[in-house]
C-alpha cells in the first residue's frame, strides 16, 4: 500500500516537474513541451520521454524560423549604396 501511494505521488510529480525543468532549458511554450512528453510516452514508451519533446522543439524552431524569414530586398544593392552616398554628400 505504501509503495502504491509512493508510486502515485512520484509519478504525478514526475509528469509535472519534468516539463517545467525542460522549459527552463529551452524557450518554448509549456504546452508544446508537455504534449511532447506525454505524446512521446504514448507513442514510443520510456524512450519517448526524451524523443517527443526534442522532435517537437526542433520542429517548432524550424517552423518559427521559416515563418519569420525576411524576404530579400527588391532594390538593387548598387542603387541603394549610390543613394546613401548621395544622401551623405548632401548632408555633409
Q: What is the CA radius of gyration of the chain?
A: 25
What is the Cβ-side half-sphere exposure of residue 57, based on CA atoms within 13 angstroms? 18
What is the phi/psi pair of residue 68, to 5°?
Answer: -100, 15
Per-residue pLDDT tens digits of the chain, which is 92 residues long: 899 999 889 888 887 777 777 666 667 787 888 888 888 889 888 888 888 888 888 888 888 888 887 666 666 778 878 887 887 776 65
Within 2-69, where are the H helices? Answer: 2-25, 30-44, 48-67
Angle 13-5-50 from CA coordinates, rounded to 5°: 35
Q: Contact 31/16 with Cβ under 8 angstroms?
A: no
Amino acid at each position: 500500500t505504501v509503495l502504491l501511494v509512493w508510486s502515485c505521488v512520484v509519478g504525478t510529480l514526475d509528469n509535472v516537474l519534468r516539463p517545467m525543468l525542460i522549459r527552463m532549458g529551452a524557450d518554448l511554450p509549456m504546452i508544446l513541451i508537455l504534449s511532447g512528453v506525454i505524446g512521446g510516452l504514448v507513442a514510443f514508451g520510456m524512450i519517448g520521454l526524451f524523443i517527443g519533446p526534442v522532435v517537437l522543439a526542433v520542429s517548432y524552431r524550424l517552423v518559427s524560423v521559416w515563418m519569420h524569414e525576411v524576404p530579400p530586398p527588391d532594390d538593387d544593392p548598387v542603387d541603394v549604396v549610390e543613394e546613401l552616398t548621395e544622401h551623405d554628400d548632401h548632408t555633409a
